[in-house]
Amino acid sequence: MKFELKSNEQNVVKFEAVIDKDKFQEAVTESFKKNQSRFDLPGFRKGKAPRKMIEMQHGKEVFFEDAVNIVLPEAYAEGIETLDLEPIDRPEVDIEDLGSDQDLVVSFEVPVKPEPKLGQYKGVEVESIDTVVTDEEVEKELEQKREENARLVNIEDRPVEDGDKVMIDFVGKIDGEAFEGGSGEGHELEIGSNSFIPGFEDQLIGSEVGSELEVDVTFPEDYQEEELAGKAAVFTVNILGIKAKELPVLDDEFAIDTSEFDTLEAYKEDLREKMQKSADENAERAIRDKVIEKCVENMTVDIPEVMVEQEIEGMVKNFEQQLSQQGLNLEQYAQFTGGSVDDLKEGMRDDALLRVQTGLLFDAVKKAESIEASEEDIQKEFEKFAEAQDKTVEEIKELLGGNDDYLKDSIVSRKTVDFLVDHADIK
């Protein structure tokens, strides 16, 4: 087969493929063998009519369409490889010349990955990030640990206060009539959580165990149940019980009970070290992202819309998988958030565009700097995977079926990011 590049404008390539007439006739013969059984001609058993008789009856072109479909995939794939193209969508196909005793000439028009023009990508300036963990931050983390280890105690000698958890029975009515979903028994409610209608929880403050009170509220105008939106309601509430958090004392005993350390000071020092490590890692990621964004800003590229749309679809698919683990689908999530699936996709557009831009940046930088994955890099990556999966390197290779392209791509991307950050001017 012969291939000729006809045009390359605005990331759309048109090329011509000339398929030898003998090869096309082989495809015609293959089509005849595949479709012979469909033909029923007088004087022949069904499916046994000779090719020439079928062509006399239905025309010489009777097998051409199917033959074209047989040779096109191979011609397209070979053309893409020969001309070194990177398609990003399906091609448009046009049959230029077709006949029984001539070459088949086909033109393909396909959008391809754009070639970005790199701007400054070495020495880009970014601000450093202060990662020193302060005493106040350590104390705040320690207080959070204290909250996590609090216990609830029954309260009988005082009324409800903000932050308490109360056990209640309640019945709600609108215009004197009870409504669906407006009642409950033995419900535990944390005062200040704002999990009930605005104003409901505040009116329970000051009530004592065993008391009954009426709570007047108005449903918000944007309430999810439209039949209740904006309506005034009266709830009869019985206070069955009150519980309050009892925080543990911050001392050595607390450290012994909640950690592997014998003293509070040792526990605090361990917290500081872990917080410092986390802060350093977060700062490293943030600086990496800043460097990449700067390099993207300095790059010039015309990105086809189809690339952004494909990235959005990939992001949506991943999000769907996450939702499915929670028993939800996209439509349900959209309803809960008051939007639509289209709104969700549109909200992903900026991130999708940045991902596409970043991918093109990496491609251009690794090409410009000849960044590759060495055999040593690949072996180390296999060893890392094997250790994480508690398997041998051979088992990991077998799982990948001998295809290490994913590992190579991962290594090259990581080395490209390292290159950009190492060559950045971090102030």
Give 88-127 pLDDT, tens digit per residue. 999 999 988 776 678 889 999 999 999 999 999 999 999 9
pLDDT at 199: 93
**271 with 366, same domain?**
yes
Q: Is the pLDDT of residue 403 over 80?
A: no
pLDDT at 100: 66
Question: Residue 355: inside a domain, yes or no?
Answer: yes
- Domain containing residue 48: CATH number: 3.30.70.1050
Q: Is the pLDDT of residue 408 over 80?
A: yes
**196 with 283, same domain?**
no
Question: Residue 121: inside a domain, yes or no?
Answer: no
Amino acid, single-letter form, for residue 122 = K
Take residue 290 and report the two structure tokens written for it. Answer: 């800043």
Q: Which long-range contacts (CB under 8 A, 24 or more apart) does 400-409 make?
A: 404/378, 407/373, 407/378, 407/381, 407/382, 408/373, 408/378
**306 with 414, same domain?**
yes
Question: Residue 125: inside a domain, yes or no?
Answer: no
Instruction: Report the percent of the chain where pLDDT is more than 90.
Output: 65
pLDDT at 319: 94
Q: Region 49-59: what's the mean pLDDT? A: 75
Q: Is the pLDDT of residue 277 over 90?
A: yes
**358 with 396, same domain?**
yes
**298 with 239, same domain?**
no
H or E stretch at 275 = helix 264-298
Average per-residue pLDDT for the chain: 90
Residue with structure tokens 């309803």? 335
Q: Region 279-287: what's the mean pLDDT? A: 95
CA 49 to CA 56: how far, in whole Å? 11
pTM above 0.75, yes or no: no
- Burial pattern 313-343, b for ≥16 Cβ within 10 A else e, equals eebbeeeeeeeeeeeeebeebeeeeeeeeee
pLDDT at 328: 85
Winning range, highest mean pLDDT, from 30-39, 51-60, 64-73, 204-213: 204-213
pLDDT at 351: 95
CA 266 to CA 147: how far, in whole Å? 19
**162 with 97, same domain?**
no
**358 with 232, same domain?**
no
Q: Binning pLDDT at 50, 70 and 90, where does residue 10 land?
A: confident
The CA distances from residue 389 to 214, 218, 394, 406, 411, in Å, are: 59, 55, 12, 17, 18
Give me the sign of the Cα torsion angle 105, 109, 110, 115: positive
**83 with 214, same domain?**
no
Instruction: Count how many Cα atoms sit within 13 Å of the Cα of residue 382 in the half-sphere of its side chain.
Output: 20
Question: Residue 290: inside a domain, yes or no?
Answer: yes
Question: Residue 238: inside a domain, yes or no?
Answer: yes
Q: Is the pLDDT of residue 142 over 70?
A: yes
The mean-pLDDT minimum among 12-21, 145-154, 393-402 falls in: 393-402
Which of 50, 82, 111 finishes a domain? 111
The mean-pLDDT minimum among 99-103, 214-218, 315-319, 346-350 falls in: 99-103
Q: Is the pLDDT of residue 73 over 90?
A: yes
Q: Residue 214, by phi and psi: left (phi above 0), alpha (psi -120 to 50) or beta?
A: beta
**92 with 53, same domain?**
yes
CA 348 to CA 339: how far, in whole Å? 13
Q: Region 295-313: what's the mean pLDDT? A: 94
The mean-pLDDT minimum among 39-53, 96-110, 228-242 falls in: 39-53
Which of 54, 83, 111 finishes a domain? 111
Question: Residue 122: inside a domain, yes or no?
Answer: no
Give 157-203 pLDDT, tens digit per residue. 999 999 999 999 999 999 999 998 899 999 999 999 988 999 999 99
Which of 84, 111, 138 finishes a domain? 111
**277 with 242, same domain?**
no
Question: Residue 137: inside a domain, yes or no?
Answer: no
Higher local confidence (pLDDT), 374 or 398: 374
Question: Residue 240: inside a domain, yes or no?
Answer: yes
pLDDT at 381: 87
**How many domains is the chain partitioned into structurally?**
3
Q: What angle do CA 322, 324, 328 make, to 5 degrees?
A: 110
Contact 164, 246 (CB under 8 A): no
How are beta strands 104-111 and 12-19 bridged, if at all? antiparallel
Q: Binning pLDDT at 50, 70 and 90, where does residue 362 land?
A: very high
Q: Binning pLDDT at 50, 70 and 90, where does residue 327 land?
A: confident
**233 with 318, same domain?**
no
**301 with 332, same domain?**
yes
Domain that holds residue 7: 2-111
- Domain containing residue 306: CATH number: 1.10.3120.10
